[in-house]
Amino acid sequence: MFLTFEGIEGSGKSTQLRRLAERIPNAVITKEPGGTPLADRIRAILLDSSSQLDPNAELFLFAASRRQNVIEVIKPALARGAVVLCDRFTDSTLAYQGFGRLINLDQLRTLNAWATDSLTPDLTLIFDLPEEVGLNRARSRNAEAVSDEGRFEAEDLRFHRRVREGYRTLAVSEPNRFAVIDGEGEVDEVFARVVAEVTKRTELLR
């Protein structure tokens, strides 16, 4: 079983992922960009605000990071029968590079399929909240962080609004795979929504 967690900056998905993993005995946690030592090096380039990245070069780095993670971590774990929880996956590319940077969605889908051997999540949780709320959370967190991972937080509100709308559009197009979760409120409240959706759609928490 392969679950992915999606949403704009500061949507709370990473916190919710960790909470859910505590309830699933054979959970394997991973994230993108990153997830392997090599992909973590790619991540550093992608998120460093001093990187002057061309949009297509950015896209290819996300794809390269994803490929390493799929081959080294996700596929072997699924083959062992583990439940894999991944913080961001192919839908981040559609939302950020597609709806955010306006790269052609069909080309992105082709690249995603290439990078993953067409691996598709069984369930994708999208944490939805107003972009102002998410960005404020993300920026205050980033101000405290030691490493500089602010390149996407530095994008303007319109960019993040397009990303949010992009996720909502994706969710409408594939309602069986996506569950949109209201990300506003306290961690416990949001987690109760996560548990409800995961219980409704999978056997994991039964």
Window 38 to 77, contacts with ligand TYD (CB under 6 A): 47, 62
Question: Which residues in 10-39 contact ligand TYD (CB under 6 A)?
Answer: 14, 32-33
Question: Of residues 68, 92, 116, 124, which one binds ligand TYD by CB under 6 A?
Answer: 92
CA 36 to the chain's CA centroid: 16
Nearer to ligand TYD, 24 or 90 (CB): 90
CA torsion through residues 127, 133, 135, 139, sign = negative
- Residue 155 beta carbon to ligand TYD: minimum distance, rounded to whole angstroms: 8
CA distances from 190 to 9, 36, 172, 175 (A): 16, 29, 21, 20
The residue type of 113 is: A
Angle subtended at Cα 39 by Cα 37 and Cα 40, rounded to the nearest 5 degrees: 65
* Number of residues lying near ligand TYD (CB under 6 A): 13
Contact 131, 164 (CB under 8 A): yes
Binding region for ligand TYD (CB under 6 A) out of 67-75, 86-94, 169-177, 198-206:
86-94
Among 69, 93, 116, 124, binds ligand TYD (CB under 6 A): 93
Which of 152, 167 has the CB closer to ligand TYD?
152
Residues of this chain, 109-168, that bind ligand TYD according to CB under 6 A? 149, 152
Cβ neighbours of 23 (radius 10 Å): 13
Four-CA torsion 182, 183, 184, 189, nearest 10 degrees: 90
Q: Which residues bind ligand TYD (CB under 6 A)?
A: 9, 14, 32-33, 47, 62, 88, 92-93, 96-97, 149, 152
